[in-house]
Amino acid sequence: MTKADTLDKIGTLHIVATPIGNLEDISERALKTLADVDLIAAEDTRHTGKLLSHFNIKAKTFALHDHNEKQKAQQILDWLNDGKDIALVSDAGTPLISDPGYAVVNLCREAGAKVTPVPGACAAIAAVSCSGLPTDKFQFIGFTPAKSQARQQFFKEAFESGITSIMYESTHRIMASLDDLVSALGEQQQVVFAKELTKTYETFFSGEVSELIAFLTDEPERQRGELVLILPGKGKETAAITPEAQKLISLLEAEMPLKKACGVAAEYFGLKKNALYKAIIAQREE
């Protein structure tokens, strides 16, 4: 047997995205892959079994979840080396996005096994695409921490990053998290809330944290389901460049560097030094 023959017999690990609610979102490629592979690694075999049954797919499944994936990773690699093709799915959406699978994919990549994506739904991407917040730069930062102090720091760091931050939250913790968001960033902090995306009770809410708390308190049922929170990043500081400030800076520049001149002018007029300096630079570049 040649080396080429051996490589041909090595299986492929398919990372298959499944619907996050609406079953019509599954792709033809995903259906074909799930029907053709030898085995399907599922976060919950009962949950995945319902999906497979709906599409009349007969396939062998086995459980791959947070508690066993490190032990199963080597077994999966062995199966791939034996020529078996395997699909990895989570309960909903794209695997590994706050779901099990990292240990498996990491081991397979290190061993040189073929790993390929079968793209599809992802709650984080679906939510941010409809959020109305900037999407030229954004970050997905997973689930919020379990403890209050850690959550407050989590929110502060997300805001200070300066870019849109997407996070997941659980039903039983959402109200406590929003209280921590108020403590961290104030009740007027803007936030986008999304739940049950692509499902019957899909909901979007955009506004101040205090308004969101009232929205969820008025009808507690709104707190239930698959939840996504999205925070805008901290905006760049700006400063009003008054004619008086410009004149003073121009006079001071004859005697000192621009940055120092801006510092003196900022102190005199009660402005922020760095913001004033950046504003002057930006104005001159224009």
- How high is the pLDDT of residue 236? 62
Would you state the structure tokens that stand for residue 148, as one six-digit string?
Answer: 């209050």
What percent of the chain stands above pLDDT 90?
84
Examine the pLDDT at 223 and tell me if it is beyond 80: yes
CA dist 169 and 228 (Å) reads 6
Residue 20 in contact with residue 123, Cβ under 8 Å?
yes
Residues 6 or more apart whose CB falls under 8 angstroms from that of 112 comprise none
**pLDDT exceeds cutoff 80 at 3:** no
**CB-based burial, 211-231: b 16+ in 10 Å, e otherwise:** ebbeebeeeeebbebbbbbbb
Lowest mean pLDDT among 81-85, 213-217, 220-224, 263-267: 263-267
Q: What is the pLDDT of residue 79?
A: 97
Please say if the pLDDT value at position 7 is more than 80: no
Rounded Cα distance between 267 and 112, Å, is: 60
Nearest to 102 by CA among 144, 47, 65: 65
Considering the chain, what percentage of its residues have pLDDT values greater than 70?
A: 95
- Range with lowest mean pLDDT among 185-199, 229-243, 247-261: 229-243
pLDDT tier at 1, thresholds 50, 70, 90: very low
**What residues does 231 pair with on adjacent strands?**
165
Q: Is the pLDDT of residue 211 over 60?
A: yes
pLDDT for residue 286: 65
- pLDDT score, position 201: 94
Q: Which residues of 181-194 are buried (b: 16+ CB within 10 A; e: fewer)?
A: bbebbeeebebbbb
Mean pLDDT of 232-253: 82
At 6 the pLDDT is: 47
CA–CA dist 234, 185 (Å, integer): 11
Q: How confident is the model at residue 240 (pLDDT cuts 50, 70, 90)?
A: low
pLDDT at 27 over 60: yes
Band of pLDDT at residue 2, cut at 50, 70 and 90: very low
The Cβ of residue 170 has, within 10 Å, a number of other Cβ atoms equal to 12
Q: In what order do the strands lie in the sheet with 227-231?
A: 138-143, 164-169, 227-231, 190-195, 203-208
Residue 4 pLDDT level (bands cut at 50, 70, 90)? very low
